[in-house]
Amino acid sequence: MLSHWTTFAAYNAWANRRLYDAVAALPADDFARDGGAFFRSLKGTLNHLAVTDEIWLDRLRGGFEPPRRLDDVPYPEFAALRSVRTTLDAALEAHVAELTPDDLDRELRFRRQASPEPIRQRVGPALAHLFNHQTHHRGQAHALLTQFGGPEAGPPLDLLLYLRETGAA
């Protein structure tokens, strides 16, 4: 099962690199342009993903209180956000690589911003949520890319493409 999570961590980093390369190719004004997505823009959506990864990495490392709000935009400039994204992806890959089979059943305890009661969550399902959440919002960012730059602006992000490109298929 650990290979499943290391594959997803590597895929996540790969997909984020492709997505950020595509965002960088758009006119700079499109980064903050409101496209009607849940977090309005590429800036809002990609900041949300960075913030949630910071929160989940903190929880995986034993943190209890969320270090940020889910709608924070701590990285308003694309270059800084891209740098943080690279750092977060590397940290997530490193964390997953250090997990043991027993770690997947370990219980996390944390508090959500939306409610005061403590939450208990096993690491394995938490990782499933984290990677699924990334895919969900990456899809929204991809839709904004194609809305602003046309169908060619959105790179293929399929897991099977990643597996073929990296030889892991």
DSSP 61: T
Q: Show the domain range for 39.
A: 2-166
Alpha-carbon gap, residue 168 to 49, rounded angstroms: 26
Contact 169, 13 (CB under 8 A): no
Contact 82, 20 (CB under 8 A): yes
pLDDT over 90 at 169, yes or no: no
Alpha-carbon gap, residue 95 to 134, rounded angstroms: 17
How much is the pLDDT for 9?
A: 98
How much is the pLDDT for 115?
A: 83
**What DSSP string runs through 102-126?**
GGGGPEEEEE-SS-SSEEEEEHHHH
Count of positions (residues) in the chain: 169
Contact 12, 163 (CB under 8 A): no
Contact 45, 37 (CB under 8 A): yes
Beta-carbon count within 10 A of 159 CB: 16
Model pLDDT for residues 11-61, shown as the tens digit of each residue: 999 999 999 999 999 999 999 999 999 999 999 999 999 999 999 999 999
Model pLDDT for residues 107-137, shown as the tens digit of each residue: 999 999 888 899 999 999 999 999 999 999 9
Model pLDDT for residues 96-108, shown as the tens digit of each residue: 999 999 999 999 9
The position carrying tokens 């758009």 is 26
Domain CATH for 62: 1.20.120.450
pLDDT average, residue stretch 75-87: 98
- Number of domains into which the chain is organized: 1
